[in-house]
Structure 1
Amino acid sequence: MAKKFFQSWLPSPEKVNQLKFMRIFGQRTLNPVLWYVNRKSISHAVFIGTFWGILPVPFHSVFIVLTVLLIEVNLPLSLTLAWLSNPLTVVPILYLGFWLGSKIFHVNMIDKDMILGVLHQILNWVKNFGHGHIDLHLAKILVTGLVLEALLSAFVLYICTRIIWRWSVLRKWNKRFHP
């Protein structure tokens, strides 16, 4: 049941290969292994897509494709999960990242004055064409929190995918043998 769902929902290799940024990877993305729909491939793709999707890095789709090519798991699902960080979700993702980072480094949660100070530093840095001071202490807190958030979220969704897939298979078997 889960396999049929993913096979009907995921796009074809040709459709994904037509994306402009996929041209840099050539024919490697047409490898049939990257299009398998099974429990291992889908759950690993969920992990990769969630991890890179939560990290608000530029060109995270390229990082996803590179990781998928290295590990050989389902490509279209990983790319779909790249859109976890979007204009609607980026604020909660960043807030949770700051919160986790502040817990790790044992600092108080960032307040309005601290954020305004950082924005002022960034604006001055931009106005002066890259010359000036930016306090990287907050960046360390944020990056640590974001990486931890991405790892935890990816691991939880990985486990949930494995459990739901197994539940789906067992349910199908029970229906077959116990109508």
Structure 2
Amino acid sequence: MAKRFFQSWLPSPEKVNSLKLMKIFGDRALSPQLWYVNRKSISKAMFIGTFWGILPIPFHTVLIVLTVLLFEANLPIGLILAWIMNPLTIVPILFFAFWIGSKIYHVHMINKDMLLGVFHQIIHWIQNFGHGHIDLSLAKILATGLLIEAMIFASLLFIATRLYWRWSVVKKWRERAAKEF
């Protein structure tokens, strides 16, 4: 049941390989192991795609593909999850990351004065052609929060996928057993 669910909406290997980005990886991206739908490959892809998808870094799609190739997870699932970070989700993701970071570093949640101070530092730094000081404490708070948030959500999605898969297999076993009697 879970296998059919995932196979029903996954694109074909040829469709994904036709993307310009995938030409970089050549025939390795068409390896059958990267397209196999089973509990392990899907749950690993869920973890990889969610982890890299939450982090607002450039070229996260390339990092997802490299990680999927390294751990032999399902390629399309990993790529689909790269779109977790989008204009609709970026604000809650960043807010939650700042909240986590502020709890870890025992600072108050960011307020208007703090943001204006950082903005002023950046403008001063640009006006002085890179000379001056920029306080990176907010970046440290955000980066720490993002890494922890990515690990939490990736782990939760990994576990949820494994549990859903197990539930669907047990359900199918019970249905088959009920038909036999």
- Looking at structure 1, the residues matched to 121 and 15 of structure 2 have their Cα atoms a distance apart, in angstroms, of 44
Matched ranges for 1:33-52 at <5 A: 33-52=33-52
- Looking at structure 2, the residues matched to 128 and 177 of structure 1 have their Cα atoms a distance apart, in angstroms, of 75
Deviation of 1:6 after TM superposition, in Å, equals 0.8
- Cα deviation, 1:43-68, whole Å, max 9, x if unaligned, reads 01000000001111111100000100
More displaced 10-residue stretch of structure 1: 32-41 or 121-130: 121-130
- Looking at structure 1, the residues matched to 93 and 148 of structure 2 have their Cα atoms a distance apart, in angstroms, of 11
Percent identical: 70
- Looking at structure 1, the residues matched to 93 and 130 of structure 2 have their Cα atoms a distance apart, in angstroms, of 27
Task: Determine the structure 2 residue equivalent to 1:171.
Answer: 171
Matched ranges for 1:128-143 at <5 A: 128-143=128-143
Task: Determine the structure 2 residue equivalent to 1:113.
Answer: 113
SS, match of residue 88 in structure 1:
coil
Task: Determine the structure 1 residue equivalent to 2:62.
Answer: 62
* Closer/same/farther in 2, CA of residues 156 and 121 from structure 1, 3 Å limit: same
Matched ranges for 1:1-179 at <5 A: 1-179=1-179
SS, match of residue 156 in structure 1:
helix
Deviation of 1:129 after TM superposition, in Å, equals 5.0
- Cα deviation, 1:151-178, whole Å, max 9, x if unaligned, reads 0100011101000110011111111111
Deviation of 1:130 after TM superposition, in Å, equals 4.0
* Closer/same/farther in 2, CA of residues 127 and 87 from structure 1, 3 Å limit: farther
List runs of 5+ in structure 2 lacking aligned partners.
Answer: none
- Looking at structure 2, the residues matched to 59 and 93 of structure 1 have their Cα atoms a distance apart, in angstroms, of 18
Normalised TM-score (structure 2)? 0.94
SS, match of residue 25 in structure 2:
helix
Deviation of 1:117 after TM superposition, in Å, equals 2.0
SS, match of residue 64 in structure 1:
helix
Deviation of 1:134 after TM superposition, in Å, equals 1.8
Number of matched pairs:
179
Whichever of the two has the greater Rg, that structure is 2
> Aligned letter for 1:30?
L
- Looking at structure 2, the residues matched to 30 and 59 of structure 1 have their Cα atoms a distance apart, in angstroms, of 21
> Aligned letter for 1:168?
S
- Looking at structure 2, the residues matched to 50 and 112 of structure 1 have their Cα atoms a distance apart, in angstroms, of 30
- Looking at structure 1, the residues matched to 127 and 76 of structure 2 have their Cα atoms a distance apart, in angstroms, of 41
- Looking at structure 1, the residues matched to 116 and 141 of structure 2 have their Cα atoms a distance apart, in angstroms, of 17
Deviation of 1:126 after TM superposition, in Å, equals 4.3
> Aligned letter for 2:118?
V
- Looking at structure 2, the residues matched to 126 and 8 of structure 1 have their Cα atoms a distance apart, in angstroms, of 51
Deviation of 1:123 after TM superposition, in Å, equals 3.7
SS, match of residue 178 in structure 1:
helix
Deviation of 1:132 after TM superposition, in Å, equals 3.8
